With several copies, the nearest count.
Chain A
Amino acid sequence: MQTTPGTVQVRFFARYAELVGRSATAVSLTLPATVGDVVRLVRERLPGAGAIPERPLAAVNLKHVRLDAPVQDGDEVALLPPIAGG
């Protein structure tokens, strides 16, 4: 399988944003890759991100996705704490 370099924007919300002290970061990675790969890279590279669960709720381009969903270059990947709306 051919691999290419890519970048995704990763966004953090609520408690996760507090843990990493920011609301977004860019993550460079080798494609193809999954949301789970992005989570793993974030947890390794970003100070404070180790406290984010290994399997958080996630969204890509404003849609809920499973962690085995693929990411594309330029995607917006969001890591979502347990939802507590309503």
Chain B
Amino acid sequence: MTHFTREPLSLERLVAEVSSPACGGTCVFLGTVRNGPAEGGVTAIEYSAYEAMLEAEFGRLLADAGGRWPDVRIAVRHRLGTIPVGDASIAIVAAAPHRAQAFDACRFMIEEVKRRIPVWKKELRVDGSEVWVDPSGRPTAKPSHV
């Protein structure tokens, strides 16, 4: 199983991966590239990853989620490369017999992704500048000597 792709994410395909007659509630999280008031002119984000570790860590994360919610079926895909504003960078699907578990497992997954999965992003701005994004949401200016 590969947990990343350089192609646009297909939500329908990811939902189909975990669908089951025993599951009545499915919760999906989509993270999309944003250009809101706080961003100021983002045209795209370039996502990069430590790909081998991304796979290993997603494997461990899914095992953790499976331990907490044995009946929940989870699929996750992170998109890498240059992603334009409005496109999804991550899709998580949690299908469960009952909806509370689906919501809880999906929320757990995205919080853990943001804590554990080795992915980085660089904002590409309308003025041509590029800034690394730090986890608090504040961009780090590109060092002048690079």
* Given contacts A13-B48, A14-B122, A19-B143, A85 and B53 within 8 Å (CB-CB): no
A-B pairs, top 10 by smallest CB distance, nearest first, are A85-B119, A14-B120, A62-B56, A62-B53, A86-B114, A15-B132, A82-B135, A85-B117, A86-B31, A86-B113
CA of A78 to CA of B118 in the docked complex: distance in angstroms? Answer: 10
Interface residues of B (CB under 8 A from A): 31, 47-50, 52-53, 56-57, 60, 78, 89-90, 110, 113-122, 132-135, 140, 142-143, 145-146
CA of A59 to CA of B53 in the docked complex: distance in angstroms? Answer: 9
* Given contacts A81-B120, A85-B121, A86-B90, A15 and B140 within 8 Å (CB-CB): yes
B50: contacting residue among A18, A80, A82, A84, CB under 8 A: A80
Interface residues of A (CB under 8 A from B): 11, 13-15, 18-19, 21, 48, 51, 59, 62-64, 78, 80-86
Task: Evaluate contact between A62 and B52: CB separation under 8 angstroms.
Answer: yes
A85: contacting residue among B56, B120, B134, B142, CB under 8 A: B120
* Given contacts A13-B48, A18-B143, A63-B56, A83 and B132 within 8 Å (CB-CB): no
- Complex contacts, A21 vs chain B, CB 8 Å: 146
Q: Which residue of A lies closest to B60 (CB)?
A: A63
Task: Evaluate contact between A78 and B121: CB separation under 8 angstroms.
Answer: no
CA of A62 to CA of B56 in the docked complex: distance in angstroms? Answer: 7
A6: shortest Cβ distance to chain B, in Å?
A: 21
* Given contacts A15-B120, A62-B53, A85 and B146 within 8 Å (CB-CB): no
* Given contacts A14-B48, A62-B52, A86 and B120 within 8 Å (CB-CB): no
Task: Evaluate contact between A83 and B53: CB separation under 8 angstroms.
Answer: no
CA of A75 to CA of B120 in the docked complex: distance in angstroms? Answer: 23
CA of A21 to CA of B52 in the docked complex: distance in angstroms? Answer: 21
Task: Evaluate contact between B118 and A59: CB separation under 8 angstroms.
Answer: yes
- Complex contacts, B31 vs chain A, CB 8 Å: 86
